[in-house]
Amino acid sequence: MKHRTVYPFTAIVGQEEMKTALLLSIVMPSLGGVLIKGEKGTAKSTAVRAAAALLPDLHAVRGCACHCDPARPELYCDACQERSAEGKLPQEEVPMCVVELPVSATEDRVVGTLDMETAIQHGRKAFEPGILAAANRNILYVDEINLLEDHIVDILLDSAAMGVNTVEREGISYAHPARFVLIGTMNPEEGDIRPQLLDRFALSVTVAGEQDAESRVEVIRRRIAYERDADAFAATYAAEQEQLHTQIVAARQRVANVAVPDDILGLAAQVSLTLGVDGHRADITLIKAGIAHAALAGRTAVNAEDLLRVSRLVLAHRMRRRPFEEEAVDWSAVDAILGASA
């Protein structure tokens, strides 16, 4: 069966906040992931799957199911640690990918399993990798994330917090790194998401259908063209895709050296205090998102404009609200603080 050509990311009409959030997470995987909320038919899943074509290659240990980073031996899985004791491990370039976690996935499918018969008979660990192993250093995508079983949510929370997945059975354990970019999509009409999981997302965006008639016509025109000849349609956006891919690769190389002036740190703290968000995670995430935005823009220092552009993505889901309160956030104070400094 022929592989279906994915809809190009650069062909998506509108939805600028969603596209920005996805790009920031690709540029800085340690940022913390993206939650995309919206009604059906607003290109949520299309955008996530389309982002796969923009992902850079990974430098990984050859043959490792977890794509362990040769430059980070302290993060090797148990198998790579055993192999490294025998000498230098072979390396390879592998493309990053989007690994999907179905809402119906069982715990064994997510965390992986241990073959106890092999362990007992041959005295060695035989680990069957799960979704978390495949997702290491990649994007883990969960459609309808609000419908995930609670025990699977707990596994994701533990892995996101520790960066490690440990499987234990009958006194035998196997550990591997589980550092992934978590991207979830959901339709709020189908239920809410657990607060503990919501807080783990660095960025959150709410999408809706285009309200401009001309934009809606363009959505229809492009979708029909894609369905008639996906390869030809993708070819018309190949140059834009390559340009964006190059921009992302350059931004990933630049991000570690982006400077954050003290006055920018002060602005981030001032914004969080003004909005009354809880804890310090919002401040830290606002700065990290600003770093990723600056790197993507090709700059070497964060400015107030960067914070302004990412503020809604970072802070909208962190606002302190009373039960059953759903009123819109007043962003005028944030715009005044950051706009005056831009």
- What pLDDT is stored for residue 79 in this prediction? 85
- What pLDDT is stored for residue 55 in this prediction? 86
Question: pLDDT per residue over 62-115, tens digit each?
Answer: 888 888 988 888 888 888 888 888 778 888 888 888 899 988 888 888 888 876
CA distance 34 to 119: 39
Q: Residues with catalytic annotation? A: 281
- What pLDDT is stored for residue 324 in this prediction? 44
CA distance 56 to 35: 22
Asked if 68 and 80 touch (Cβ cutoff 8 Å), the reply is yes
- What pLDDT is stored for residue 3 in this prediction? 61
- What pLDDT is stored for residue 125 in this prediction? 63
- What pLDDT is stored for residue 297 in this prediction? 92
- What pLDDT is stored for residue 296 in this prediction? 93
- What pLDDT is stored for residue 323 in this prediction? 43
- What pLDDT is stored for residue 1 in this prediction? 46
Query: Which residues does the chain have with pLDDT short of 70?
Result: 1-3, 115-125, 170, 319-330, 333, 340-342
CA distance 240 to 254: 21
Residue 106 DSSP label: -
CA distance 102 to 173: 25
- What pLDDT is stored for residue 322 in this prediction? 45
Q: At what angle do helices 262-275 and 281-296 cross, to 10 degrees?
A: 130
Bridge partners (DSSP) listed for residue 208: none
CA distance 156 to 104: 14
- What pLDDT is stored for residue 245 in this prediction? 92
Pairing of strands 57-61, 127-128: unpaired
Q: Letter for the amino acid at 314?
A: V
Question: pLDDT per residue over 235-270, tens digit each?
Answer: 999 999 999 999 999 999 999 999 999 999 988 888
